[in-house]
Structure 1
């Protein structure tokens, strides 16, 4: 039984006992309990007192205990519900009695206490198999060539489907393959969700417009009760709680200011911060996947594996995939192609750019590799400029310092060389790291060779 089915089961019992459905607080306590949250966490999420949450929980456990015939408490709720479902189905299968109707998880089962009722239809299929799927992937790019990312796909799939992470950030340098990986992921897991939508963020997506777009998608797809009392659309978080939803936000870097440290929202876009915090803090069964080479500060700072937030920084492709890219660009055989792939860090876009230049000009790639030459085709410069232009003046200073170093350097050496305070330097390094523009080896910092060559040429 999934979370939605368990909540429906509990609602049926409470309605049968009291004549009233679960109210918002009762549902919140049940949802939090089924997701292994403490009373303190549940109270904090919804701004209730812990004593009030405990009181509501105690009354719910009493009602459920009377119906299920065993002592229900916070720690055994899930297992008790599942045992009851198994026992009632087993009872029907063994005795084929005529039993009264009792609704569990969207299927009509029956109680032996009510005579002269019909048995359930044996041909009724599993609710998971018959649930309606609603998908809007009109903004999702075509997959195109996909190179092996087995490990990354498995990691994301585990976080989403097994660990029920609510907020995922997929980050990495421009051209590294973030969107391509996300498209492949969505293709593989979309059937696990009732609602799937892909949104490409641009300047027109103000917080209100974005939230309205999602609510409109959910409400138009949902079977609506036409009674006057149910005409009002639900808040976004309610849809995320009532349904298993996957929402992909591509190009989230468009939410943030240019010329500032990473993750500073544009004017009038601050409400996105509240949205992301709500998605993290409030219990629900949905997942937001954020794609971009700059991420919200409230996302990237979380490293604790106990939080519902995860960040995956995508690295370059391996040697085999890099060689496949070179072959696709017409470079069938290159001696020591491994060195070329390492030099451009397995970045698919960077490799395609330099491979096309080599092919167009007929350059001997072997000679290119002898003296560590780094070619910067104009289209690659344009890509690098997009990210460089977004950085603050402070970050530009730090990158200029790093570009003069042949070896990774520590914080003390950077302080010694530059006219930057330690506080400003630390903030700049953190921001550059969030943008994936520098590399860190222990306590040492360095620029990737391609970026170093670009900055030297400015």
Structure 2
């Protein structure tokens, strides 16, 4: 089976059933599972936490089961998709030399200036940078590209659940980081756990991504009361003594007076030159007038560009 075709087919089934787009982490777990990787192997290949992979996976299989009307598990995922994949999509193409979308191997265009801007902010001793923009502009793609290319010893990722009631408690997040990524036991109290995390971040160059923060914020940009302990985590990440750099992506502003040291970075949309580069890289030719009209119609939105590729 062609993995890319199987991935897009499964993605379409889930998104049509739920009417919601899959996140980058969901796409990564889906791809890794179609490649017959274990959750540990998905972590090794894509640096998606084993904890989150095991949390994301069963929800994906549940949605696929509902969409197809058959029981889907991680073990039978590939065989089920192969049975339902249209025959013309079974053909295997040589795509190794083409950039891939919706994968942790990200093809990024038009963001050299943004990466340079972030490097400037880091050189000014900013420890937390908030990348803010509307949905689909490319916040997460930029943040992952930056963290994957700046020589960090370790990259940690936390993706906020889209629904407030499903947001993972910060205590669980930090405990998972300590156990899985630093091989250290958390403390009995959250304060002790944070001390141990700070100690690790003081000795290692770590990149941290907190992706899609907005579900954890109220209308004033403050952390909702149930998850106010995220404030304590950000205080550690903003500490001048740590070597880590944290990128936060959010559609909404973060205006919580309990947290200092967060540097906002508003991300602009891609220009038409970036759109042209993107489609050209996939060997798709579009005349200049049509491309300009597409770019204008969708406001330079990077997610729209990716969707139109299909």
Structure 1 counterpart of 2:171: 208
Say whether the 8 Å CA contact 1:164–1:308 is kept in structure 2: no
SS at match of 1:208: helix
Structure 1 counterpart of 2:241: 283
Say whether the 8 Å CA contact 2:154–2:207 is kept in structure 1: yes
SS at match of 1:268: helix
Residue 172 of structure 1: CA displacement?
0.9
Residue 250 of structure 1: CA displacement?
1.4
Q: TM-score, normalised by structure 1?
A: 0.38
Structure 1 counterpart of 2:250: 292
Residue 270 of structure 1: CA displacement?
0.8
Counterpart among 257, 263, 271 of residue 310 in structure 1: 263
**Take 2:303 and 2:234, find their aligned partners in 1: how far apart are those partners?**
30
Residue 251 of structure 1: CA displacement?
1.9
SS at match of 1:291: strand
Segments of structure 2 that go 5 or more residues without pairing to the other structure are 1-43, 54-102, 186-191
Asked whether 1:348 is paired with 2:302, we answer yes
Counterpart among 30, 33, 48 of residue 138 in structure 1: 48
Alignment of 1:43-192 (within 5 A): 137-138=47-48, 141-160=103-122, 162-189=123-150, 191=151
Larger radius of gyration: 1
Say whether the 8 Å CA contact 2:167–2:216 is kept in structure 1: no
Alignment of 1:370-381 (within 5 A): none
**Take 1:218 and 1:349, find their aligned partners in 2: how far apart are those partners?**
31
Structure 1 counterpart of 2:155: 196
Change over 3 Å in CA distance of 1:136–1:270 after alignment to 2: farther
Q: Tell me which of the two structures has the higher relative contact order, counting C-alpha pairs closer than 8 angstroms and 6 or more residues apart.
A: 2
**Take 2:309 and 2:289, find their aligned partners in 1: how far apart are those partners?**
14
Show CA shifts across 1:383-430 (max 9, x none).
xxxxxxxxxxxxxxxxxxxxxxxxxxxxxxxxxxxxxxxxxxxxxxxx
Show CA shifts across 1:50-85 (max 9, x none).
xxxxxxxxxxxxxxxxxxxxxxxxxxxxxxxxxxxx
Say whether the 8 Å CA contact 2:222–2:256 is kept in structure 1: no
Say whether the 8 Å CA contact 1:172–1:292 is kept in structure 2: yes
Change over 3 Å in CA distance of 1:349–1:331 after alignment to 2: farther
Residue 343 of structure 1: CA displacement?
4.0
Say whether the 8 Å CA contact 2:178–2:197 is kept in structure 1: yes
Change over 3 Å in CA distance of 1:250–1:335 after alignment to 2: same
Show CA shifts across 1:236-269 (max 9, x none).
2222223332211112223235xxx152433420
**Take 1:174 and 1:343, find their aligned partners in 2: how far apart are those partners?**
16
Show CA shifts across 1:422-453 (max 9, x none).
xxxxxxxxxxxxxxxxxxxxxxxxxxxxxxxx
Structure 2 counterpart of 1:116: none
Counterpart among 208, 227, 234 of residue 269 in structure 1: 227
- The count of residues paired between Structure 1 and Structure 2 equals 203
**Take 2:149 and 2:139, find their aligned partners in 1: how far apart are those partners?**
16
Structure 2 counterpart of 1:28: none
Residue 221 of structure 1: CA displacement?
6.9
Change over 3 Å in CA distance of 1:282–1:185 after alignment to 2: closer
Show CA shifts across 1:321-361 (max 9, x none).
223456669662252643542343211223455787xxxxx
SS at match of 1:138: coil
Say whether the 8 Å CA contact 2:223–2:256 is kept in structure 1: no
Say whether the 8 Å CA contact 1:317–1:347 is kept in structure 2: yes
Structure 1 counterpart of 2:37: none
Segments of structure 1 that go 5 or more residues without pairing to the other structure are 1-133, 223-231, 357-458
